């Protein structure tokens, strides 16, 4: 009986519960900002940077890592444990206690579980992922004692997105090739450049550590500028007409382009001693972090819901446009009118995840979970 229920399905396939949960958290975070609830500045930071990202990464990793490590046992206990920790974090923060403790516990739990699965599966090719997870854990634990360094955390997440994005980009490229040549006739394979991916990851994680260690602004500026240029260099491999004419590879390209530009701008801002750090970092948060997470949510959800031919629903395509408006509003227009500073970006970010949660809840409900059709 329970096994047939929707809730069982959602927890048995953690991607579903965690993605929907992340979407709801993003809507909640947007509402907190729009209605200025309580200490909305630190509360929205806690929701977006800690709870939302924790749920998003967990949803992806609890689906992908068992596949990479060939782990076949039930994921139910892991997904329930992780979910409970996140709920405790949320409740304790709402009640005025320190929710960061639970977030630190959550990342420790996630890092250990992922390491355990990979070691069990004798999969020793994911050092970068393990390093990333323990780095996030370190940032969170240090945050308990010295105050959270949210920018270091943001850069860690972006480094994670580079890692995860590499895997996703391989799928996207090959799907685009299938689309161009026909699935049965396609003899072409797309292989993104792993060396550039590694360099890009290392540069951004170096920036995270430079921020964590509070190195001077010039050092951070040089590293950020370098990271931006390296991210831009990833674009070369997408310069094929058919990649830029298929919507999902084009979206990936635009996200990457925006991320590279934003990181380069952040670096230049620090080097030239300008005062745009907060704006650009919000741009990175909305465009790179939320944008990529939203896109990966879409792609992985569809791939694991039996959709062999990838076709993002209209909300998936519109979402990117909304995030673009949110970035333009927060980064460029916020000086002209107060609403552009918080309200407009919050409304558009909220809308993106409202559309996502609604649409994908129905997709999850109507389609059984499937393995990735490689």
Partner 1 sequence: MIIKDGIEIKLSPLHKISNYLIEGLSGLGLIAIFLGVWQIGSEFSGSFILPAPLDVLKRSFELITSSNSQISLTIYRTAISIVLAFIIGWVLGVIAGSFKTLAKIFKPLMDIFLAMPPIIWIVLALFWFEFGDMSVIFTVFIAIFPLSFANSMLSVITLDNRLNEVCIAYRLNLIKRLKAYYLPHILPYLLNSLNIITAMGVKIAIMAELLGASDGVGAKIADARAYLDTTEVLAYVVIMIGIILLFNFLVIKPINIIFLPWIKEN
Q: Which residues bind partner 1 (CB under 8 A)?
A: 173, 177, 187-191, 193, 195-196, 199-200, 203, 206, 210, 215-216, 218-223, 225-230, 232-233, 235-237, 239-240, 267, 271
By C-beta, is 30 or 246 nearer to partner 1? 246
Tell me whether residue 220 is exposed, middle or buried, using C-beta atoms within 10 angstroms of its C-beta: 0 to 12, 13 to 18, 19 or more: buried
By C-beta, is 180 or 247 nearer to partner 1? 180
Nearest approach, Cβ of 155 to partner 1 (angstroms)? 14
Nearest CA-CA partner of 139 in 160, 125, 119, 118: 160
By C-beta, is 1 or 236 nearer to partner 1? 236
By C-beta, is 135 or 357 nearer to partner 1? 135
CA distance 22 to 349: 13
SS3 112: helix
Nearest approach, Cβ of 193 to partner 1 (angstroms)? 7
Q: At which residue do the structure tokens 């650009």 appear? A: 280
* Cα-trace Rg, the chain: 20
CA distance 284 to 291: 9
By C-beta, is 2 or 236 nearer to partner 1? 236
Nearest approach, Cβ of 126 to partner 1 (angstroms)? 23
By C-beta, is 240 or 341 nearer to partner 1? 240
Q: At which residue do the structure tokens 């990464």 appear? A: 57
Nearest approach, Cβ of 271 to partner 1 (angstroms)? 6
Q: At which residue do the structure tokens 């996630």 appear? A: 110
By C-beta, is 137 or 203 nearer to partner 1? 203
How many Cα neighbours within 13 Å face the side chain of 20? 18
Nearest approach, Cβ of 210 to partner 1 (angstroms)? 7
201: which 2 tokens? 């990851």
Q: Can you spell out the DSSP letters for 297-335?
A: HHHHHHHTTT-SS----HHHHHHHHHHHHHHIIIIIITT
Q: In this structure, how many other beta carbons lie within 10 angstroms of the beta carbon of residue 72?
A: 9
Nearest approach, Cβ of 198 to partner 1 (angstroms)? 11
Q: At which residue do the structure tokens 């951070």 appear? A: 220
5: which 2 tokens? 């229920």
Nearest approach, Cβ of 222 to partner 1 (angstroms)? 4
């Amino acid at each position: 009986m329970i096994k047939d229920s929707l809730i069982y399905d959602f927890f048995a396939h953690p991607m579903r519960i965690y993605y929907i949960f992340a979407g709801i958290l993003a809507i909640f975070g947007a509402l907190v900002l729009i209605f200025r609830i309580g200490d909305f500045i630190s509360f929205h930071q806690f929701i977006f940077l800690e709870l939302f990202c924790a749920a998003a990464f967990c949803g992806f990793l609890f689906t992908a890592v068992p596949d990479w490590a060939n782990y076949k046992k039930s994921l139910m206990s892991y997904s329930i444990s992780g979910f409970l920790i996140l709920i405790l974090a949320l409740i304790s923060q709402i009640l005025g206690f320190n929710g960061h403790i639970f977030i630190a516990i959550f990342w420790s739990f996630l890092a250990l579980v992922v390491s355990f699965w990979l070691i069990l599966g004798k999969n020793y090719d994911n050092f970068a992922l393990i390093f990333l997870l323990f780095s996030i854990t370190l940032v969170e634990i240090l945050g308990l004692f010295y105050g959270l360094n949210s920018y270091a955390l943001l850069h860690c997440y972006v480094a994670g997105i580079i890692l995860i994005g590499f895997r996703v980009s391989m799928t996207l490229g090959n799907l685009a090739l299938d689309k161009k040549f026909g699935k049965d006739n396609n003899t072409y394979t797309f292989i993104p450049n792993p060396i550039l991916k590694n360099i890009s990851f290392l540069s951004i994680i170096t920036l995270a550590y430079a921020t964590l260690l509070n190195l001077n602004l010039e050092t951070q500026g040089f590293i950020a500028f370098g990271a931006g240029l390296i991210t831009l260099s990833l674009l070369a491999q997408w310069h094929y007409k058919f990649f830029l004419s298929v919507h999902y590879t084009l979206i990936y390209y635009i996200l990457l382009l925006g991320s590279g530009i934003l990181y380069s701008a952040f670096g230049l801002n620090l080097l030239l001693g300008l005062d745009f750090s907060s704006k650009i970092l919000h741009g990175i948060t909305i465009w790179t972090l939320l944008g990529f997470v939203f896109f990966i949510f879409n792609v992985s959800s569809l791939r694991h819901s039996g959709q062999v031919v990838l076709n993002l629903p209209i909300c998936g395509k519109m979402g990117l446009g909304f995030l673009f408006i949110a970035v333009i509003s927060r980064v460029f227009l916020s000086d002209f009118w107060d609403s552009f500073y918080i309200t407009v970006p919050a409304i558009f970010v909220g809308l993106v995840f409202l559309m996502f949660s609604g649409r994908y809840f129905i997709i999850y409900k109507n389609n059984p979970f499937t393995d990735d059709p490689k």
